[in-house]
Chain A
């Protein structure tokens, strides 16, 4: 789908497809070519919300949030959910090669509880936690599963059932993240027909973005598994 044809307001729908995990992990699968693409606009995390007085004093908000849009497609096969994420970045930052280098990353965010108001800007609260699926270029396509109960509180769970495939080519990252509907670790539970909310964050490694210095979607988007 051409980029100017992306939709930006309607809910994101993960259509049900008959395809295997192997197929859907392929970045060039015809399933992805025909799936509907949605745009998620992102912006700098507010400097005022940074938990670090040092970051507040030494950064400017205009210099944060280099990635301004992430395009997203989603499908499920009745047992597993798949997200295809795509964003532009002139160079790939693959690893922590040195102390002063940072890898690119992207993260999906979900409220853990469907019936409680969960602030996306604070990654949840103690009573309304969030679950994030955190892919980073140096994680060897093994994204981390995180639970957060507010800013600066996110912690990796011991195990993560999320798997990924990724590629950087022609100034663009393409990342597929996948997970079974039900997993043993603390995480959101999914099922066909279920309605959730979704948010996104992205880090541009070359700009030294890491932690709360990132771009994120400031509002939840409705997300439905067909």
Chain B
């Protein structure tokens, strides 16, 4: 029997369905409030305590072993997965944000993420000291050529001494206001929690098709090869529900991470993002409106050819920071410098007080309870 051409009735039904699906997506994105995170890149020391806190809390077992819902990369670098920002996805934003046109994305490979390495510990234990060296292998037995932080310190190469620079860039799921993963999922399995905007993947609905990973321009979604479902950062919502901040922010020794509702005008996030406008999203041009923001890194001034400090030039090229955080970064850096100067002059600066974070508990809005309450 030949395959039939669509009838007028089919076409009408197609239109009805299209409207229905768009309405479902609007519903899945709808939130009353939005939780957000600010990370101050001037304070991140790349210790990976956040990564380990996340790993120990969420990705130690059941097919999640190779996942790093929280990563910290050395910048400049190719990141995790390798060159993720060149893999497409996200939106082309048109008509001042009224239309978002999805952009085709690529699926990274497991090795581009950094596979789960197996080490030859047993071999070492069973042989004499020095006979065998520690070696890592990918899950398919090949030698690793990438990992979640392979870039370690390579950011400094190729930039002439003494003006080399690097900084760390921690990343989690951005819990975007317009999450491309929600639009991508044909199962309607991904949604934002109405009460706090945390983006979750319903593990009962997900069938592991990976359209979400394709569409996410930040590539912060992992595929679980055991459960055959996609998984990602859940903003520690079981802790949040008990008034405890996320594991990554609680463990951060550098006091880099702030957590609060974006609309809490008395809280640090509102002040950093909306009032002082110093915290910016990563790659804003992806059109997803992330709810993770970064205070851009200031660097020492450049040294000129004679070795003298040239205070007019930053060691981190502005062009590179604009590439990462958009054109607003220039104003953000200016404000940061102004406020730093104000404190040097003995004046008080609300912005500096927040960023220095002497009162640790004030970094987490209402999520200040001890994690013991989750036990």
On A, residues with C-beta under 8 Å from B are 8-9, 41-43, 46, 48-58, 96, 98-100, 121-122, 151-152, 155, 210-212, 217-219, 221
A41 with B22: in contact, given A49-B14, A99-B110 (CB under 8 Å)? Answer: no
Contact between B102 and A58 (Cβ–Cβ < 8 Å)? Answer: yes
Give chain A residues whose Cβ lies under 8 Å from the Cβ of B106.
100
* B7-26 interface (Cβ within 8 A of A): 10-11, 14-15, 17-18, 21-22, 24-25
- Contact partner of B109 among A9, A54, A57, A100, CB < 8 A? A100
Complex alpha-carbon distance, A194 and B210, angstroms: 39
Give chain A residues whose Cβ lies under 8 Å from the Cβ of B22.
53
- Contact partner of B188 among A8, A51, A100, A210, CB < 8 A? A51
Contact between B207 and A211 (Cβ–Cβ < 8 Å)? Answer: yes
Question: Among A41, A49, A221, which residue has the most Cβ atoms of chain B within 10 A?
Answer: A49
Complex alpha-carbon distance, A53 and B151, angstroms: 35
A41 with B1: in contact, given A52-B186, A100-B107, A151-B17 (CB under 8 Å)? Answer: yes
Complex alpha-carbon distance, A109 and B114, angstroms: 39
Give chain A residues whose Cβ lies under 8 Å from the Cβ of B104.
57-58
A48 with B17: in contact, given A8-B1, A57-B102, A99-B213 (CB under 8 Å)? Answer: yes
Please, could you name 7 A-B residue pairs with CB atoms under 8 Å apart, sorted by A? A51-B24, A52-B185, A53-B22, A53-B25, A99-B110, A99-B213, A155-B205
Give chain A residues whose Cβ lies under 8 Å from the Cβ of B3.
41-43, 217-218
Q: Is B223 an interface residue (CB 8 A)?
A: yes
Complex alpha-carbon distance, A155 and B211, angstroms: 18
On B, residues with C-beta under 8 Å from A are 1-4, 6, 10-11, 14-15, 17-18, 21-22, 24-25, 101-110, 113, 180, 183-188, 204-205, 207-211, 213-215, 223, 225, 228
Give chain A residues whose Cβ lies under 8 Å from the Cβ of B15.
48
Q: Which 4 A-B pairs have the closest CB atoms?
A: A48-B14, A54-B184, A100-B107, A43-B3
A54 with B211: in contact, given A46-B6, A98-B109 (CB under 8 Å)? Answer: yes
Contact between A51 and B4 (Cβ–Cβ < 8 Å)? Answer: no
- Contact partner of B14 among A43, A46, A98, CB < 8 A? A46
Give chain B residues whose Cβ lies under 8 Å from the Cβ of A100.
106-109
Number of cross-chain contacts by CB at 8 Å: 94
- Contact partner of A121 among B10, B188, B215, CB < 8 A? B10
A55 with B213: in contact, given A152-B186, A211-B186 (CB under 8 Å)? Answer: no
A52 with B184: in contact, given A99-B213, A99-B223, A210-B209 (CB under 8 Å)? Answer: yes
User: B20's closest neighbor in chain A, by CB?
Assistant: A51
Complex alpha-carbon distance, A128 and B209, angstroms: 26
Give chain A residues whose Cβ lies under 8 Å from the Cβ of B1.
8-9, 41, 219, 221
What would 11 more interface pairs be, CB under 8 Å, given A48-B17, A51-B188, A212-B186? A42-B3, A46-B6, A48-B14, A49-B14, A52-B186, A54-B214, A99-B223, A100-B108, A152-B186, A211-B187, A218-B3
User: How far, in Å, is A91 (CB) from chain B's closest CB?
Assistant: 19
A96 with B228: in contact, given A54-B180, A211-B186, A211-B209 (CB under 8 Å)? Answer: yes
User: How far, in Å, is B23 (CB) from chain A's closest CB?
Assistant: 11
User: A53's closest neighbor in chain B, by CB?
Assistant: B183
Give chain B residues whose Cβ lies under 8 Å from the Cβ of A152.
21, 186-188
User: B215's closest neighbor in chain A, by CB?
Assistant: A54
Contact between B184 and A55 (Cβ–Cβ < 8 Å)? Answer: yes
Give chain A residues whose Cβ lies under 8 Å from the Cβ of B215.
54
User: How far, in Å, is A133 (CB) from chain B's closest CB?
Assistant: 16
Complex alpha-carbon distance, A122 and B109, angstroms: 33
Give chain A residues whose Cβ lies under 8 Å from the Cβ of B14.
46, 48-49
Contact between B21 and A99 (Cβ–Cβ < 8 Å)? Answer: no
Complex alpha-carbon distance, A41 and B180, angstroms: 34
Contact between B183 and A52 (Cβ–Cβ < 8 Å)? Answer: yes
Give chain B residues whose Cβ lies under 8 Å from the Cβ of A48.
11, 14-15, 17-18
- Contact partner of A49 among B2, B17, B24, B107, CB < 8 A? B17
- Contact partner of A52 among B101, B109, B211, CB < 8 A? B211
Complex alpha-carbon distance, A223 and B187, angstroms: 29
Give chain A residues whose Cβ lies under 8 Å from the Cβ of B4.
218-219
User: How far, in Å, is B6 (CB) from chain A's closest CB?
Assistant: 7
Give chain B residues whose Cβ lies under 8 Å from the Cβ of A55.
184, 186, 211
- Contact partner of A57 among B10, B17, B101, B186, CB < 8 A? B101
Question: Among A54, A218, A219, which residue has the most Cβ atoms of chain B within 10 A?
Answer: A54
User: A216's closest neighbor in chain B, by CB?
Assistant: B3
Give chain B residues whose Cβ lies under 8 Å from the Cβ of A53.
21-22, 25, 102, 183
Complex alpha-carbon distance, A52 and B185, angstroms: 6
Complex alpha-carbon distance, A98 and B17, angstroms: 33
Give chain B residues whose Cβ lies under 8 Å from the Cβ of A57.
101-102, 104
Give chain B residues whose Cβ lies under 8 Å from the Cβ of A9.
1
User: How far, in Å, is B257 (CB) from chain A's closest CB?
Assistant: 28
Give chain B residues whose Cβ lies under 8 Å from the Cβ of A50.
21, 186
User: How far, in Å, is B59 (CB) from chain A's closest CB?
Assistant: 16
Give chain A residues whose Cβ lies under 8 Å from the Cβ of B207.
211
A41 with B2: in contact, given A49-B14, A99-B223 (CB under 8 Å)? Answer: yes
Give chain B residues whose Cβ lies under 8 Å from the Cβ of A42.
3
User: How far, in Å, is A212 (CB) from chain B's closest CB?
Assistant: 5
Give chain B residues whose Cβ lies under 8 Å from the Cβ of A217.
3
Give chain B residues whose Cβ lies under 8 Å from the Cβ of A43.
3
A51 with B186: in contact, given A41-B1, A46-B14, A57-B102 (CB under 8 Å)? Answer: yes
Complex alpha-carbon distance, A221 and B4, angstroms: 13
